[in-house]
Amino acid sequence: MNVRLFVAIEITGEIRKKLAEFQDELKRVDADVGWVAPENIHITLKFIGAMDEEKIEAVVTIIKDSVIHIKPFDLDYRGVGALPTEKNPRVVFAHVIDTGGVLTRIHERLDNQLVALGVEHEDRKFAAHLTVGRIKTRRNVRKLIENLNSYNGFDFGSEHVAQVVLMKSDLSPEGPIYTKLHSVDLI
Other beta carbons within 10 angstroms of residue 148's beta carbon come to 24
* Catalytic hit among 42, 107, 121, 160: 42
Sheet holding 155-161, edge to edge: 33-35, 129-135, 89-97, 73-84, 155-161
* Catalytic hit among 69, 95, 107, 129: 129
Distance CA 49, CA 176 (A): 13
Active site residue 107: no
Q: What angle do CA 12, 61, 72 make, to 5 degrees?
A: 35
The crossing angle, in degrees rounded to 10, of helices 141-149 and 13-27 is: 140
Active site residue 42: yes
* Catalytic center residues: 42, 129
